[in-house]
Amino acid sequence: MRRPILAANWKMNNLTADAKKLCAGLKEELSGLRDRDIVVCPPSILISTVKDALAGTLIGFGAQNMYYKQSGAFTGELSPDMLVDAQCRYVIIGHSERRQLFAETDALVNLKVKAALEVGLTPIMCVGETKDERKAGKEKDIVGGQIRAGLKDVKFESPLGLVIAYEPIWAIGTGETATPQDAQDMHAYIRSVLTEIYGEETAGLMRIQYGGSVKPDNIDELMACEDIDGALVGGASLEAKSFARIVRFSA
Ligand code: PGA
């Protein structure tokens, strides 16, 4: 089995006091776990608070976005080096909210993934189809296209250093989760696309997270699926006990 990776995406939620409290709860609940990767992605302004609050634990942290240039006149953006300097190990790239609300394209996602890998960050590259695309039976074309374009000419040293998150847009924040069968079906398809790009051995080692209304009461059946290697969790990551239960899934 691939080493599971469970990540919290706080999105634009929490102030300093909330972050400290949430991290203290996670520290208490999760400190002893060594057999999985645990990641917290707060708003960037809270990264140093989270770093201090999680010091001494194995819980990693990262950013929800970054720009692909290392410095310069890009008002409001953060560079890959800045995230490394803040001791991040991970960065979410191409979340559907960034694609839909901030017009991020596959080409930009591709530049960001490359820039993240170049400085040793682990990108969590998000892909996923809309409800209409699924209704039209186009979900695999869409997701396959996002994977191929996002990973165009992308090379990496370790297959563990690049994570894919499959997040069907219709399942994000809606309470509607993909059935484990539908999710597994798409994850197997994604792995087949990764196999085309990187070969069977590497694709077999790469981790693919599911995201979209993951909760304590559906994580176990999702994680029981062969090609689901973790979760990217929004709403349910804002409460320590519920995220801890997700991290402690039993499959
Ligand atoms: P959700 O968000 O768990 O609130 O559906 C997941 C995500 O967008 O990463």
Digit-coded pLDDT (tens) for 156-201: 999 999 999 999 999 998 888 889 999 999 999 999 999 999 999 9
What is the distance in A from the centroid of ligand 1 to the CA of 173? 5
Annotate the chain with three-state secondary structure: CCCCEEEEECCCCCCHHHHHHHHHHHHHHHCCCCCCEEEEECCHHHHHHHHHHCCCCCCEEEECCCCCCCCCCCCCCCCHHHHHHCCCCEEEECCHHHHHHCCCCHHHHHHHHHHHHHCCCEEEEEECCCHHHHHCCCHHHHHHHHHHHHCCCCCCCCHHHCEEEECCHHHCCCCCCCCHHHHHHHHHHHHHHHHHHHCHHHHHHCEEEEECCCCCCCHHHHHCCCCCCEEEECHHHCCHHHHHHHHCCCC
What is the distance in A from the centroid of ligand 1 to the CA of 94? 13
CATH code for position 157: 3.20.20.70
Overall pTM > 0.95: yes
Structural domain span for residue 70: 5-247
Confidence check: pLDDT of 251 > 90:
no
The structural domain count of the chain equals: 1
What integer is the mean pLDDT of 203-231? 97
> What was the pLDDT predicted at 9?
98
Catalytic option among 28, 95, 157, 187: 95
